[in-house]
Amino acid sequence: MKRQNVRTLSLIVCTFTYLLVGAAVFDALESDFEMREKEQLEAEEKRLQGKYNISEDDYKKLETIIMEAEPHRAGVQWKFAGSFYFAITVITTIGYGHAAPGTDAGKAFCMFYAVLGIPLTLVMFQSLGERMNTFVKYMLKRIKKCCGMRITEVSMENMVTVGFFSCMGTLCIGAAAFSHYEDWSFFQSYYYCFITLTTIGFGDFVALQKNKALQRKPLYVAFSFMYILVGLTVIGAFLNLVVLRFLTMNSEDERRDAEERASLAGNRSSMIIHIQEDTLQRSRRRREQQQQHYKSEVTDLQSICSCMHYHSHEFGSSNSFGSQLSPHQYHHYHSTVSYRIEEISPSTLKNSILPSPISSVSPGLHSFTENLRLMRRRKSI
Partner 1 sequence: MKRQNVRTLALIICTLSYLLIGAGVFDALESKQEKSQKGKLDYRKILLMHKYNLTRLDFEQIERVVLLLKPHKAGVQWKFAGSFYFAITVITTIGYGHAAPSTDAGKAFCMGYALLGIPLTLVMFQSLGERINTFVRFLLHKAKKCMSLRRPEVSMANMVIIGFFSCISTLCIGAAAFSHYEGWTFFHAFYYCFITLTTIGFGDYVALQKDNALQNDPHYVAFSFVYILMGLTVIGAFLNLVVLRFMTMNTEDERRDAEQKALLFKDQQKGPVTQRPDPPSPAAVGRDKRRGLKSVYAEVLHFQTVCSCLWYKSREKMVILPQDLSFTDALMEQGDVLPHHFFEPGPTGCVCNPQCCSAISTVSADLRNISPFRFFSKRRSSV
Residues numbered 183-242 forming contacts with partner 1, rule: CB under 8 A: 187-188, 191, 194-195, 198-204, 239-240, 242
Rounded CA separation 3/286 (Å): 14
Which stretch, 99-107, 141-149, 150-158, 216-224, contacts partner 1 (CB under 8 A)? Answer: 99-107
Neighbours of 98 (CB within 10 A): 21
Rounded CA separation 260/112 (Å): 42
Which stretch, 94-102, 138-146, 173-181, 213-221, contacts partner 1 (CB under 8 A)? Answer: 94-102
Which stretch, 12-20, 147-155, 175-183, 288-296, contacts partner 1 (CB under 8 A)? Answer: 12-20
Mask for 267-296, x = binds partner 1 (CB under 8 A) = xxxxxxxxxxxxxxx--x------------
Interface residue with partner 1 among 3, 44, 153, 155 (CB under 8 A) is 44
Taking the alpha carbons of 145, 151, 154, 160 in that order, is the dihedral positive or negative?
Answer: negative
Regarding 7 and contact with partner 1 (CB under 8 A), the answer is yes
Region for residue 93 given its phi and psi (left: phi exceeds 0; alpha: psi -120 to 50; beta: otherwise):
left
Rounded CA separation 307/299 (Å): 11
DSSP, collapsed to helix, strand or coil, labels residue 199 as coil
Q: By CB neighbour count within 10 A (0-12 exposed, 13-18 middle, 19+ buried), where does 115 fall?
A: exposed
Rounded CA separation 294/302 (Å): 12
Regarding 97 and contact with partner 1 (CB under 8 A), the answer is yes
Rounded CA separation 361/357 (Å): 11
Which stretch, 2-10, 138-146, 148-156, 175-183, contacts partner 1 (CB under 8 A)? Answer: 2-10
Kindly tell me which of 147 and 213 has the beta carbon lying closer to partner 1.
213
Rounded CA separation 322/330 (Å): 10
Which stretch, 51-59, 147-155, 176-184, 212-220, contacts partner 1 (CB under 8 A)? Answer: 51-59
DSSP, collapsed to helix, strand or coil, labels residue 98 as coil
Regarding 362 and contact with partner 1 (CB under 8 A), the answer is yes
Least distance from C-beta 181 to partner 1, angstroms? 20
Interface residue with partner 1 among 180, 216, 332, 373 (CB under 8 A) is 332
Interface residue with partner 1 among 3, 24, 149, 161 (CB under 8 A) is 24
Regarding 161 and contact with partner 1 (CB under 8 A), the answer is no
